[in-house]
Structure 1
Amino acid sequence: MDASNYVIVSPHQHYALVVASEDMLSFPYHLRYELIEFAVYILTTRGLGLTPLHGACVGRAGRGVLLLGGSGAGKSTLALHSFLQGLDFVAEDAVLVQSDNLLATGVANYLHVTEDALHFIEDKEAECWIREAPTIRRRSGVQKFEADLRYGPGKSADAPLQLVATVFLSRQVADDPGALLRPIPKYDIAAKLSADQPYAASLPGWSCFQQQLVKMGAYELRRGNHPIAAVEALRQLLR
């Protein structure tokens, strides 16, 4: 970032040095996001060989669902309600997957949700937990609450989850509120994955990893009347 705030990473040694000035301590979000998390993700991807995906992941009983979709598709909102409804939480922004066995992990530290996502929360304690959280502003300009998962009512996954399906979130409202999931034809999955994950698609080993996700299967999840309906649709995949 500048002469007093920088990261040195040596992936083959599994080592990183983070240097931050005293002034930077007044900007904890930028310190964590621009320096510390940068070092973590470089080490996990280049040092451990994990595939980094921009998405979310939730699950139960050791099984997980990978949630993908563009900005505004609703990944954070669905991850929030999955967390509140008792599903195990892995991550809502960056998911790291072992290419050989499709075990998914992540840095489960915060939930980032917009004001609009709170309209569907019926638990007042859960709503207060989020409203009392500090706010951050993404590079896109979107402002979000940054809720610390350690103080939330749900639980984080205590081990990596075995992926059983990939779900692409759609902004489109479902014609039938009782049928939100639609299987994606296998011949369409590879192209959707590459378009959704341009950074991961540029890394070595993407082709083999992509083939595994295609074999596993993928779905489109359209919007229902309430985010809880989407959570129930995910439960169907996790049985």
Structure 2
Amino acid sequence: MTTTTDATDPTADPFGEGSPLAHAARWTVLGACFHVVSDSAALLALAAQACASLPAHRFGAVAPMFHVELRLGAPRDTVYALPPRVRTQAGAGVLCGVMDAANHVVVSPGQRRALVSVSADMLERHPYHVRYELMEFALYLLAARGQDLVPLHGACFGFGGRGVLVLGPTGAGKSTLALHALLEGLDFVAEDGVFVEPKTMRATGLANYLHVRDDALHWAEGAPHRWLASSPVILRRSGVAKREADLRIGPGRLATAPLDLAAVVMLSDQPASGPARRSLPRDEAVARLHADQPYAAGQPHWQRFVDGAVERGVYRLDRQAHPRDALRALRPLLDADAAVA
């Protein structure tokens, strides 16, 4: 008896494993090489917005390889004013982030692989959330878990191979300070997510976009102001509207390699009433770092990062009258020959 199988029969390939992934690209970011394949040119183009034309940061001579699949599903009738928040879960060695049944990401750090599934309607109507909350979710998890990096919500910039890690609560001014560091010609690593190799205390990140509110635009003049003002507006989950300015076409320099952290700076939203910057004693520094970074504090290499941060110095920086004053207070930390108070 001879039987034939209809290639269009969904029961022949219920998981879609046979669908071709004809589009591919490779980018070296976050210390690793990401091989990204997709069945959609549009999805791969969106991934390029996150990864293309960035400095190839590496922690070693050979960058580890990770594989990411981007798969596009059929459009649906569901219309979201704002996509559902990503719900996370883990088990059996995989990590998941789920918006809904058609839009989710599955990451297997052990296999160094991730799958991002996106419906056509979500790609068309909410590309920012697809890129930021699904694609970058996969990149960040693979890079951090696959290289034993500590993931931090903060900013990083510096010069001469040395950097400062800037942490602090929402509204403390991290983005505005990062903008001024860029305008002052410092080497830029990241404004939102920073990843630190704890054994060397070197920091990397995706230097793709800067997110600032319109009230920060008055700090810039001329071409930088035009760059910010012409950037699209995105709505963050907090409800705050921000300009998303592409750092690859703007002013300033992107750090060509991970920066060696010289110090960690905790921004305060309190106006300065004394010295702009003060060193924190160990116990206070440890407590503040833990409170500021609850997710990172639960990761395996947190204690080694904390020890490295305290060794280099953890500082509190109160709010200054002008961001330029804050940068002036930080610059001695980046000077290898300066006596740091």
Same topology, TM > 0.5: yes
How far has the Cα of 1:238 moved from its partner? Answer: 0.5
Task: Work out whether residues 151 and 194 of structure 2, in 8 Å CA contact, stay in contact via their aligned partners in 1.
Answer: yes
Structure 1 partner of 2:147: 48
The letter of the residue matching 1:40 is L
Gaps of 5+ in 2: 1-98, 336-341
Task: Work out whether residues 149 and 301 of structure 2, in 8 Å CA contact, stay in contact via their aligned partners in 1.
Answer: no
Structure 2 partner of 1:22: 120
The letter of the residue matching 1:183 is S
Deviations 1:187-221 (A, max 9, x none): 21100100000000111121222122112211111
Q: Give me the whole-angstrom Cα distance separating, in 1, the residues matched to 2:224 and 2:304.
A: 41
Question: 94-103 or 24-33: which moved more?
Answer: 24-33
How far has the Cα of 1:8 moved from its partner? Answer: 2.2
Q: How many pairs align?
A: 236
Structure 1 partner of 2:215: 116
Mapped pair 1:107 → 2:107: no
Q: Give me the whole-angstrom Cα distance separating, in 2, the residues matched to 1:33 and 1:154.
A: 23
Question: 62-71 or 133-142: which moved more?
Answer: 133-142
Task: Work out whether residues 148 and 301 of structure 2, in 8 Å CA contact, stay in contact via their aligned partners in 1.
Answer: no
Mapped pair 1:13 → 2:111: yes
Gaps of 5+ in 1: none
Structure 2 partner of 1:32: 131
How far has the Cα of 1:15 moved from its partner? Answer: 1.3
Q: 2:277 aligns with which of 181, 192, 195?
A: 181
Structure 1 segments (4+ residues) deviating >6 Å: none
The letter of the residue matching 1:160 is P
How far has the Cα of 1:117 moved from its partner? Answer: 1.2
The letter of the residue matching 1:171 is D
Q: Give me the whole-angstrom Cα distance separating, in 1, the residues matched to 2:302 and 2:314.
A: 17
Mapped pair 1:215 → 2:215: no
Structure 1 partner of 2:232: 134
Structure 2 partner of 1:161: 259
Bigger radius of gyration among the two: 2
Question: 137-146 or 10-19: which moved more?
Answer: 10-19
SS of structure 2 residue aligned to 1:20:
strand
The letter of the residue matching 1:136 is I
Structure 1 partner of 2:66: none
Mapped pair 1:4 → 2:102: yes
Structure 1 partner of 2:289: 193
Equivalent runs, 1:45-84 vs 2, <5 Å = 45-84=144-183
Q: Give me the whole-angstrom Cα distance separating, in 2, the residues matched to 1:9 and 1:185.
A: 39
Question: 105-114 or 20-29: which moved more?
Answer: 20-29
Choose between structure 1 and 2 for higher RCO, CA contacts under 8 A separated by at least 6 residues. 1
Over the residues paired in the alignment, what is the CA RMSD in angstroms?
Answer: 1.3
Deviations 1:56-104 (A, max 9, x none): 0011010000000000000000001100110011011110000111010
How far has the Cα of 1:25 moved from its partner? Answer: 2.1
TM-score by length of 1: 0.95
Structure 1 partner of 2:243: 145
